[in-house]
Chains A and B, each alone.
Chain A
Amino acid sequence: MLSILIIDDHPLVGDGIAMMIREVEYLRIEGMSKTAQEALDFLETHHPDIILLDISLPDMDGLELCSLIRKKNKQAKIIGLTSTNEAGIVTQFLANGANGYLLKNMEREELLQAIEEVRNDRIFLSKAANQKILEQYHSLREAMQNTPVLTRREKEILALLHNGYSGPGIAEKLFLSLHTVETHRKNLMQKLNANTTPQLLKVARDFKLV
């Protein structure tokens, strides 16, 4: 028998979940809390196996509550349960000690699957959240490439600097204001970790950017 605590300030959601599992013999709703404080009080005296946790609570951020619960209770499996599907939120939930992530408009089967996975010490992410995490992973991998990606304007300016043009010269050639050129140059130096223009050109040559 697995006991469940639902933490959500929306009473309907709790009822909906209760209804979904009413015919599942090994699941039992042990409690429902509408606020973080209620949940923390409840957890002083109860030890649910599964905690379904919403992100937006009236008195505390759900993410924060997740790490608070995890600090005190290493046993319970926490599943984030929200209506927003954003990679940053999903990963933060996991980082704060959650075991899974579900979207509120889940199917009954998805909920049962999630519970099954987390009780067996596996991480469960809803399909849509999985997709977001994957996108996130791709973009981060791209961003972590060694060679910085330059914008078109940066490439042009770098090439002109390489050919001995000065700031005003570049501004005139590219029909840009000097201020704009200078900002591009400062950005370039930050990206290539250079403090001076000669240094910038050296790094650029090392990376074969010019």
Chain B
Amino acid sequence: MSGRINFLSLVFALLFILPVNAQKINEDSLRKVIDSSVLDTVRVDAMLTLANYLLRHKQDEKAGLPLLNEAFSLASNAKLPNHLARYYLIYSNYLYMQNDWAGSIENLKKMQEVAKEIPDAAQREDAIMKSTNNLAGIHYFNGDFIGALEYHLKALEQVEQLPHNADSKATLYVNIASDYRLLNLYGKSYEYVSKITPMLSEMSDVLKVPYFYELFQSQINTGRGEEAFQTLQVIKNGFDTFDLNEGQMQDLRIQFHEQSGIYEMVITKNYQEALRQFELWNKASQEANADYSIVESSFNLGTALDSLHQYERAIPVLRQAYNQAIEFELAEFALKSAKLLAKIYSRVNQDSEGLKFATRAIHLNDSIISSEKLKELNFLEAKYQAKMKEEQIAKLNLLNAEKELEVVKRNRMILAISIGGSLGLILLGLFYRNAKQKQIIAEKDQKIQEDQIKFLERQQQVISLQSMINGQETERTRIAKDLHDGLGGLFSTIKMHFSTLQHEQPNLKTEPLFSKSYDMVNTASEEVRRIAHNMMPEVLIKMGLVQATRELCNSISAGKLLQVSLQPYGMEQRLSPSTEVMLFRILQELLNNIIKHSEATEAIIQFNREGNRLSVTVEDNGRGFSLAESDTKPHAGLSSVESRVNYLNGKISIDSQKEVGTTVMMDFLINE
């Protein structure tokens, strides 16, 4: 029972965001308004209301969709964000009814975008909240209750920023309670639905229907029998006191009998009374032509009869429930009915019938699972498509923005030159300069935007780098250790053996094959040491950055092509291991670049640490490069240095002069 989707709350969620009282609309008067009004806002308003009415209540697509489109173009031309938001909402709801999830999501996302432009703060937040709530609804309906919950909670946050509106809040609380119930988190469900209770007097009666539904469910699910009983009494009183239309009243009656029956079944175990309530539920469902309810109540009748051991009565009821479930394609109830039938048949010793239904149950179970998977898959596909659309739109927007910028620039030039022409050469010069300045400003604006994008990209990069680099360094340490201890030890031992062999068999010295093998083992062992050292110098871990850097400098200087000197100031205390490793990698990379590209003969590495300020300077006397040049030919080495500096939240400045040298300066804030 607890697994049932709360259709009431879902339908309500949709109703809630639709224009008020759509059912009571007078078509003719709306048409008159559309034909006669001169005000765009009034016309669009009427068109949207009518289109929604046609689509939703008369299922008249032929009339509704063109009207909706017309409203859209009017609203776009007149730049009415509020109406555009409503358009997207209505269209999204229409697509929702067509099970076009991707389309529905896409339109809700568009609604969120356009809602941002609504000038009135309250209306703006309201539209954003509605779109979020409906996004949740789509997830909910597709069985993604976690996704639904996320969106519902987000919408709740938005609603809490709005002026107090009991109905909006209550809607979200009901929806959240429903999400939690379907996630089997009944305590949470109870918590949220209870939040509505103090607002009850402010709420519209329509909303009370789903509210009491969730309230009762959460009470039953958390074993609060007493409270559940009281809830039933309030629902019963609602027949006389709630202001509901006929359909809504029918819903309330269905709900009341259903829940009364459940109460008797679960709490009082008075199966006779449960049976009576389920019969009333079944009758009310048939009057309302509510397929789902008819099948569900029939099945529940069967369970009550089963509990009363009235098997002969139960069998026809359940067979009917089974047939109806098959007819209405409600596999869930077909399965439940088949299972129960199998059980009852075997109890009354009609084994062949029992076997028949047991087999059906197994088949149904398989097909339910596969259709659930299919549904899940379709929804995933829909989400993916919506995402793709978003990306395409973002790309297009970027292209448009670029084009617009070009046009603006060109127009400015044309304007400047034409005015300049009439005013003479001096003025022309002046205006040209003005235009040039404006252009510079425009370029600067663009630059700022680019910087922002870069900043965001940087952030992204930092996050992914952090995890990557951490993993990388751990891995390197491990491999270096393995190389040293494993392969290195092995090679050393082989060499020891050769050395001993050579001593004990002196004539081997004249054997070329032996000498060659001996040399090769020696080389291999050196090589392993070199690789392990580059991967993670032991001295870096044990003695710290300065000593490791000193040895790096020394070994490069030993090669005679480049002399690297080290100048450490204020580096008496060690930094955190991860910072040290990171800085060491930066220096390795920079020195590598100097050796490979700069043709420098001298380089300096300098550390300056004072308090938590650390600056690292790497300077060479190489041929330098112009930064513009490096734009076209990206320096792979430098970009990885930059990433690492970013990782340490540092700043890097590279200044290079042709034929003079390059100075790279990085500064960091060390907090340890």
Binding site for B on A (CB under 8 A): 9-10, 12-13, 15-17, 19-20, 22-23, 55-56, 61, 63, 82-89, 92, 104-109, 131-132, 135-136, 138-139, 142-143, 148-149, 151-153, 174-177, 179-180, 183-184, 186-187, 190-191
Contact = CB atoms under 8 A, between A and B. Distances in A.
B484 A190 contact: no
A192 to B, nearest CB: 10
Given A139-B550, A152-B660, A153-B619, A13 B542 contact: no
Contact of A186 (B503, B568, B610): B610
A187 B605 CA distance: 13
A60 to B, nearest CB: 12
Nearest to A180: B653
25 contacts: A9-B485, A12-B493, A56-B484, A84-B538, A87-B547, A88-B547, A88-B548, A89-B543, A92-B542, A105-B522, A105-B529, A106-B495, A132-B554, A135-B554, A135-B555, A135-B558, A139-B553, A143-B567, A151-B663, A152-B621, A179-B653, A180-B665, A183-B665, A190-B570, A191-B569
B497 A105 contact: no
Given A16-B493, A104-B489, A87 B554 contact: yes
A183 B485 CA distance: 43
Nearest to A174: B655
Contacts of A142: 565
A12 B490 contact: yes
Contacts of B503: 20, 23, 108-109
Contact of A104 (B488, B550, B565, B617): B488
Interface in B322-376: none
Given A143-B566, A180-B653, A152 B542 contact: no
B45 interface: no
B523 to A, nearest CB: 10
Nearest to A90: B539
A84 B529 contact: yes
B485 A16 contact: no
**B interface majority secondary structure:** helix
B667 to A, nearest CB: 5
B492 interface: yes
Nearest to A148: B567
A131 B555 CA distance: 10
Most chain A beta-carbon contacts within 10 A, residue among B491, B496, B526, B537: B496
A10 B489 contact: yes
Contact of A139 (B532, B539, B565, B617): B565
A190 B663 contact: no
The list of the 7 closest CB pairs from A to B, nearest first, reads: A16-B496, A104-B492, A16-B493, A88-B547, A135-B554, A108-B499, A86-B539
Contact of A84 (B484, B500, B522): B484
B447 to A, nearest CB: 15
A101 B570 CA distance: 31
B542 A23 contact: no
A203 to B, nearest CB: 14
B273 interface: no
B488 to A, nearest CB: 4
A1 to B, nearest CB: 20
B570 A105 contact: no
**A interface majority secondary structure:** helix
Contacts of A183: 615, 665, 667
Contact of B493 (A15, A89, A149): A15
Given A139-B550, A152-B621, A180-B655, A20 B496 contact: yes
Given A92-B542, A139-B566, A151-B606, A86 B533 contact: yes
Nearest to B481: A56
Nearest to B667: A183
A63 B542 contact: yes
Interface of B: 481, 484-485, 488-493, 495-497, 499-500, 502-504, 522, 525-526, 528-529, 532-533, 537-539, 542-543, 547-548, 550-551, 553-555, 557-558, 565-570, 604, 606, 608, 610, 613, 615, 617, 619, 621, 651, 653, 655, 660-661, 663, 665, 667
Contacts of B496: 13, 16-17, 19-20, 106, 108
Contacts of A187: 569, 606, 608, 615, 617
A18 to B, nearest CB: 9
A20 B550 contact: no
Contacts of A17: 496
Contacts of B567: 143, 148-149, 191
Most chain B beta-carbon contacts within 10 A, residue among A15, A135, A179: A135
Contacts of A16: 492-493, 496-497
B542 A89 contact: yes
A22 B653 CA distance: 61
Contacts of A22: 500
B653 A177 contact: yes
A12 B492 CA distance: 9
Contacts of B667: 183
Contact of A176 (B528, B555, B653): B653
B550 A136 contact: yes
A149 B504 contact: no
Given A105-B522, A142-B565, A151-B604, A83 B484 contact: yes
Nearest to A110: B499
A136 B499 contact: no
Nearest to A135: B554
A105 B619 contact: no
A138 B543 CA distance: 19
Contacts of B481: 56
A143 B493 CA distance: 39
A13 B539 CA distance: 22
Contact of B539 (A12, A20, A23, A88): A88
Given A149-B565, A151-B619, A13 B493 contact: yes
Nearest to B524: A105
Contacts of B490: 12
Contacts of B500: 19-20, 22, 108
A175 B496 CA distance: 60
A151 B617 contact: yes
B542 to A, nearest CB: 7
A85 B539 CA distance: 9
Given A86-B533, A136-B554, A191 B489 contact: no
Contacts of A23: 503-504
A89 B540 CA distance: 10
Contacts of B566: 139, 143
Contacts of A82: 538
Contact of B569 (A9, A152, A180, A190): A190
Given A135-B557, A191-B569, A88 B663 contact: no
Most chain A beta-carbon contacts within 10 A, residue among B492, B497, B660: B492
